[in-house]
Amino acid sequence: MIKEYIANRVHELYWNDDINCARTALICLSELFETEIEAQTLRAAVGLHGAGGYRAQCGLVEGPLMFIGIYLHALGKSEEEIVSACYDFASAFERTFGSLRCYDLRPTGFSENDPPHMCENLTCSAIEFACQYILEITK
SS3 107: coil
Contact 9, 28 (CB under 8 A): yes
* pLDDT one-digit tens code per residue, 80-120: 999 999 999 999 999 999 999 988 887 676 677 777 787 99
The Cα–Cα gap between 99 and 73 comes to 27
**Which residues does residue 101 pair with via DSSP β-bridges, in sequence order?**
57
Separation in Å, CA 65 to CA 34, 108, 113, 116: 17, 24, 30, 25
pLDDT at position 100 is 94
Residues of the chain with pLDDT under 50: none
Q: How many structural domains compose the chain? A: 1
The Cα–Cα gap between 100 and 105 comes to 8
Write out the residue range of the structural domain in which residue 115 sits.
2-138
pTM tops 0.85, yes or no:
yes
